[in-house]
Amino acid sequence: MKADVGLVGLAVMGQNLVLNIARKGYTVAVYNRTAERTKRFIEERVKSEKIVPAYSIEDFVNSLSKPRKIILMVKAGKPVDDMIGELLPYLEKGDLIIDGGNSHYADTDRRLKELAKEGILYLGMGVSGGEYGALHGPSLMPGGTRDAYALVERILMDIAARTEDGPCCTYVGDGSAGHFVKMVHNGIEYSIMQSIAEIYDLMRKGLNLSTEQIGSIFEDWNNGELSSFLMEISSKIMRWNDEETGKPLVELILDKAEQKGTGKWSTQAALDLGVPTFSMAASVFARVVSYYKEERQRLSKLYHKHLTLSESVTIEELEKALSLAYFLSYSQGIWLIHEASKTFNYGIDLLEVLRIWKGGCIIRSKMLDFLIELLKDSQDNLTFLNDEKAQKFVEERLDSAVKVSNFARSLAIPSPAINGCLDYLFSLTTDSLPANLIQAQRDFFGAHTFERIDKPGTFHVEWQPLD
């Protein structure tokens, strides 16, 4: 009997996704570039006959029922092109390749076009939820043609996470829509993670709370409006003690944050599309600067920041500040997705995007229900801010967020994500910005012209004699 679906790439994500698919009753053929990894997987984790290993591309492709459906879970970038190149000679028109990795959306568009010429269907699918999600139900963000999606809709719906609103999978849109949405999902993730990290930093350095105490507070918060996957894991991390030393492990972890690129790509896309994702960009830079550990160590001995301490903050104020940061992180991301959908004709339904983020994925949170409510009220409320309920929500938390920001500033504790969120909000809700001076400066040195507020037209002034 032929397999229903094939999967290439048996690292963390691939293995768990295969087990998930097989548990849902499908037969899966598996292949990995390094045969040893396939053997180990079969020996150590596979108990079901529904998972069939293949040790050559030809055997793998031949073991699949037609039209063939092949999920790639290999490292993003060249490995995806390499695998497609190896598969192509054995595929037939109408077969489907699904790239489930974190590919850059421009690569997905290129591959879609190249494969369409060969008659091969292609989906770029965001998969969120890490290894646990892959095994127990991820949030799936497939994009490409509807024909291609129709071939695998049932399987994807079956393996996705479920909430009371249905499976966390939807046809996201045309072209690279799925990978774009997954990329921005990760951009939001960067902003929320950084905001949580900043609050933790303030709690330990500003309020002198122990890691244990911070863990209890995070646990409490996870039962309230901050209820979310990232809050839940942060509370667990705070309570995790190192076996060897008995100390909280988090305090023993080197403060150099790694990144794989999706936050940077989101920021690059935001710059290209003209969307002011202040805190997303700041969170990428926060990871970048963390990497300069030796430089930071040297300079920290040189600079003694004798600042005037601002009024301290309460736990409730920290909670409100973080809640506002969550809200504004989603706001930036949804706006960015909307702008991309317009520019690239993705045809994305933002309500569906919010819905499929409710389960399985890293940025799942209780707040998504509130955002869905706001967007349902007015479909063009892309920042969520154009709504009385949102206005009330923001105003109830703003004082606290500003107090938190001031407290952090006065202690010289960096808080780029929280400040990025505040600058995003303040900039968007300020009628008069100092961009008038920027325009005057541009006209002064470059004759770039300006508009006026008191009459129509384009103006230029000879600010200084040329000779």
User: Which residues sit in the known binding site?
Assistant: 9-14, 32-34, 74-76, 102, 128-130, 185-186, 190, 260, 287, 442, 448
Task: Give the residue with the Cβ less far from ligand NBP, 126 or 276.
Answer: 126
Task: Tell me how crowded residue 56 is: count the other CB atoms within 10 A of its CB.
Answer: 11
Residue among 49, 58, 92, 189 flagged as catalytic: 189
Q: How far is the CB of 91 from ligand NBP (least distance, A)?
A: 16
Site stretch for ligand NBP (CB under 6 A), options 30-38, 39-47, 210-218, 250-258: 30-38
Rounded distance between C-alpha atoms, residue 250 and residue 203, angstroms: 14
Q: How far is the CB of 358 from ligand NBP (least distance, A)?
A: 17
Nearest-10 Cα torsion for 209, 213, 215, 219 = -120
Q: How far is the CB of 100 from ligand NBP (least distance, A)?
A: 6
Q: How far is the CB of 313 from ligand NBP (least distance, A)?
A: 34
Site stretch for ligand NBP (CB under 6 A), options 55-63, 124-132, 250-258, 276-284: 124-132
Site stretch for ligand NBP (CB under 6 A), options 11-19, 87-95, 267-275, 281-289: 11-19
- The answer to whether 37 contacts ligand NBP (rule: CB under 6 A) is yes
Task: Give the residue with the Cβ less far from ligand NBP, 3 or 84.
Answer: 84
Task: Give the residue with the Cβ less far from ligand NBP, 107 or 317.
Answer: 107
Strands across the sheet containing 69-72: 51-53, 28-31, 5-8, 69-72, 96-99, 121-128, 139-144
Q: What is the per-residue binding string for ligand NBP in 66-95, x denoting contact by CB under 6 A?
A: -------xxxx--x--xx------------
Which CA distances in Å does 420 have to 38, 141, 427?
Answer: 45, 27, 10
Q: How far is the CB of 73 from ligand NBP (least distance, A)?
A: 5
**Binding residue for ligand NBP (CB under 6 A) from 11, 257, 289, 315?**
11
**Binding residue for ligand NBP (CB under 6 A) from 130, 166, 347, 414?**
130
**Binding residue for ligand NBP (CB under 6 A) from 20, 27, 63, 102?**
102
Q: How far is the CB of 131 from ligand NBP (least distance, A)?
A: 6
- The answer to whether 147 contacts ligand NBP (rule: CB under 6 A) is no
Q: Is 189 a catalytic residue?
A: yes
| Residue set of the binding site for substrate | 102, 128-130, 185-186, 190, 260, 287, 442, 448
Task: Give the residue with the Cβ less far from ligand NBP, 191 or 331.
Answer: 191
Q: Is 24 a catalytic residue?
A: no
Residue among 69, 182, 320, 358 flagged as catalytic: 182
**Binding residue for ligand NBP (CB under 6 A) from 6, 101, 144, 360?**
101
Rounded distance between C-alpha atoms, residue 444 and residue 32, angstroms: 61
Task: Give the residue with the Cβ less far from ligand NBP, 9 or 173.
Answer: 9
Q: How far is the CB of 14 from ligand NBP (least distance, A)?
A: 5
| Nearest residue to ligand NBP, scored by beta-carbon proximity | 101
| Interacting positions 375-414 with ligand NBP (CB under 6 A) | none
- Residues ≥6 apart with Cβ < 8 Å to 66: 2, 92, 94, 95
- The answer to whether 118 contacts ligand NBP (rule: CB under 6 A) is no
Q: How far is the CB of 46 from ligand NBP (least distance, A)?
A: 16
**Binding residue for ligand NBP (CB under 6 A) from 28, 70, 127, 269?**
127
Interface ranges with ligand NBP (CB under 6 A): 9-14, 32-34, 37, 73-76, 79, 82-83, 101-102, 127-128, 130-131
- The residues annotated with a catalytic role in the active site are 182, 189
